[in-house]
Amino acid sequence: MAGQAPQANVASADEAVRARGLDLLKSSVDLAHELEADQLNGVVYALFGDHQEPFSAERIAESARLVGQAADYAAQAGIRMTFEVVNRYETSMLNTAAQAIDYVRQSGSDNLFVHLDSYHMGIEEADIPGAIRSALPVLGYLELGQSGRGSLLTGSVDIRAAVQAAKEAGYTGRFGLEAFTRQLLVTGGANALAIWRQTYSDPHAVAAEAVDIIRSVYAEQ
């Protein structure tokens, strides 16, 4: 997973800080290559948590250009690069699939793909299945997360409908599961993610739920 730092940020108004942001992404690619990874995900386009005001079109375009360069660098190492679309409380740059698709276009890279997460989509998208279908063919990673951050079977997000939309759109890429419960996180991480309670007790059961949903949907004729 890659990200940005206060003094290394491709979305900064400061050219030197932007340059260091690109260098940070390239170093993340180098580490991923060393680990023999073939895909690199993360909030790579801006500093995570920067949501105080909207980003200008100029800042978004410059961020896309630099991330596109990082994605091209990753391609040389055989690594696919994606970026996660998160909700308005975690960034003010990219919150929807439509914004992400345009960001890919602005990047100019054919090795930059979209990472959608149903938890964030439940906050930002009016039509989650439609948003997933619209993201093909640049959808590179689909993460399943429920509204309460726990079991996929309990919450306001229709996880099965999200997987069904991916299948109908011809998605054959990777799925991920993201579920958090306070007792399994370090205190700092739990606080940063606003995980205040125990959302599940058996992580293996939560993982099995995700596997069962994906397999059953893709097995349907």
Active site members: 84, 178
Cβ atoms within 10 Å of 159's Cβ, excluding its own: 24
How far apart CA 126 and CA 124 sit, in angstroms, is 7
Query: End-to-end distance of the chain based on CA atoms, in angstroms?
Result: 35
Q: List the structure tokens of 29.
A: 């690619």
Cβ atoms within 10 Å of 42's Cβ, excluding its own: 17
Contact between 28 and 2 (Cβ < 8 Å): yes
Burial level of 52, CB count in 10 A (0-12/13-18/19+)? exposed
Provide the 8-state DSSP code for 54.
P
Q: List the structure tokens of 30.
A: 């180098």
Write the CA distances from 72 to 27, 59, 109, 187, integer angstroms. Answer: 13, 20, 6, 37
Specify the DSSP element, H or E, that contains 175: strand 174-177
